[in-house]
Structure 1
Amino acid sequence: MENEHERMEKLLKNELTREADKIIKEVEADESLKDIALPEELDTGLKTKIEQYEAEKAAYEMLSDKDKEAIRIGREIQIQRAKTNNDTP
């Protein structure tokens, strides 16, 4: 059974996907954007980052639910530590 966190995560992913699809369609339909090209260095860097992200996402998906939960808790602890450190003068 899904917990509240998992349901919220799915809802957010679905909403982001819908928004991304909408933006992609708008950009593809705009004829004035057809001839725009990225500089090669920027294009290569972007492709590298995308490939890295996809590899990390695939690795994350292979983790057990326990490991995913441990990562989530670790992130929450990092956020709390950062907040605590920012509050300290």
Structure 2
Amino acid sequence: MPNARYTISILSKDSELIHYIENKRKSVGLSAYIRELIRKDMKNQDISDFEQIYEYVAKRIMENGFISAESGAQKVNEFIDQQDKDIITDLF
């Protein structure tokens, strides 16, 4: 399998990130560093992070009037089904 190549962009306003990456690049291969960060993220991925995102989306749905606040949390759980959660996960 050939190597996959990705390009990332860092905004000029993120000068502290640019400085950090430049220093990191001098001491460690940048590709190896990013691969290790991704591996750590894969191992430490916590489902509760996504649960917080789902709760936020449900709150925004209620605020925008798509469902009434009186319906309560049970209605929100019914409103955001697994397919919606999958879409939200893809966005984040």
Same fold (TM over 0.5): no
Bigger fraction of residues in helix: 1
Higher RCO (C-alpha 8 Å, min separation 6): 2
| TM-score after normalising by structure 2 | 0.29
